Amino acid sequence: MRPVYALDSIPWHDLSVRDFMTEGGVHVPRVHHELVEIDKGAVMFFVPKPQHANMLIAYLNRMLSAKAKTSWRIEHIG
């Protein structure tokens, strides 16, 4: 299977850690689409700063715990 690359920016400057951790907080449509709706396997995200990785991990854990139909694992390479 050939890798597919997509550029979809997140407005990091407008968001805080709390936005990614709360149920009513941020929703990242492209991430949801790739991981829940399409669910074709591994997805890699690149973020501009280390703290953004932690914010995204919090969001992914919350979202996947609630909606994933298959098992999943998050790996953080720093």
pLDDT tens digits for range 18-52: 887 777 777 778 888 888 888 778 888 888 889 98
Q: What is the mean pLDDT of the chain?
A: 83
Q: Is the pTM of this model over 0.85?
A: no
Q: Contact, 8 vs 30, CB < 8 A? A: yes
Q: Is the pLDDT of residue 1 over 70?
A: no
Of the pLDDT bands very low, low, confident and very high (cuts 50, 70, 90), residue 73 is very high
Domain ranges of the chain: 12-67
Rounded to 5, what percent of the chain is helix, strand, coil?
A: 45, 0, 55
Q: Is the pLDDT of residue 77 over 70?
A: yes
